[in-house]
């Protein structure tokens, strides 16, 4: 087993009703999945402010996962539709900041889908391994002072 494998850091925002319960079920069912995702429980995927996502990237996350109830199943009727509308726009924004849209995952996990939850974490972790570390703050800081090179004129 490779020990120097890149371990991405994932911040997960899980809705309390479906996805958090689904994650719980994955746990109580003893389903194995990588420990790369650390969850933050919110009441609804609609609570996830895009500001949280950029903050997570700015603070060193390699990926952000938002999980909510399946469309039509939202405990709050339509909160997950808000998440569904924000994410594509946020992805476009992230791309302009040089962050691959693949680093933001929106998925639907119902309370009974412990297995799906685990599979999503596995897939997402694999995707992020492929993309490699982001280290947004470190990388941007490194470029901060980058000055115009002292190139000689081609006379």
Per the CB < 8 A criterion, the answer to whether 20 and 39 are in contact is yes
SS3 category, 79? helix
Nearer to another protein, 1 or 154 (CB): 154
User: CB of residue 43 vs another protein: minimum separation in angstroms?
Assistant: 5
Burial class (CB in 10 A: 0-12, 13-18, 19+), 128: buried
Among 14, 23, 54, 67, binds another protein (CB under 8 A): 54
Cα distance between the two ends of the chain:
57
User: CB of residue 63 vs another protein: minimum separation in angstroms?
Assistant: 11
Among 3, 5, 32, 151, binds another protein (CB under 8 A): 151
Q: Does 25 bind another protein (CB under 8 A)?
A: yes
Angle at which helix 50-58 crosses helix 136-144, to 10 degrees, equals 70
How many CA atoms are closer than 13 Å to the CA of 124, on its beta-carbon side?
31
Q: Does 96 bind another protein (CB under 8 A)?
A: yes
What is the C-alpha to C-alpha distance for residues 46 and 59, in angstroms, rounded to an integer? 22
Nearer to another protein, 88 or 123 (CB): 88
What is the binding site for another protein (CB under 8 A)?
A: 9, 11, 17-18, 21, 25, 38, 40, 42-44, 46-61, 71-73, 75-79, 81-82, 84-93, 96-99, 110-112, 134, 136, 139-140, 143-148, 150-155
């Amino acid at each position: 087993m490779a020990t120097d494998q890149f371990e991405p850091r994932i911040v997960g925002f899980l809705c309390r009703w479906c996805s958090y319960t689904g994650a719980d079920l994955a746990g109580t069912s003893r389903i194995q999945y990588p420990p790369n995702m650390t969850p933050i429980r919110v009441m609804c995927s609609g609570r996830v402010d895009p500001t949280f996502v950029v903050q997570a990237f700015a603070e060193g996350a390699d990926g952000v996962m938002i999980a909510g109830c399946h469309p039509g199943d939202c405990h709050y009727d339509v909160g997950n539709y808000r998440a569904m509308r924000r994410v594509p726009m946020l992805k476009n924004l992230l791309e302009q900041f040089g962050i691959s849209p693949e680093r933001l995952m929106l998925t639907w996990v119902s309370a009974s889908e412990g297995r799906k939850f685990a599979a999503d974490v596995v897939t997402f972790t694999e995707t992020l391994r492929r993309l490699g570390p982001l280290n947004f703050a470190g990388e941007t800081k490194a470029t901060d002072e980058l000055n115009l090179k002292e190139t000689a004129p081609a006379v």
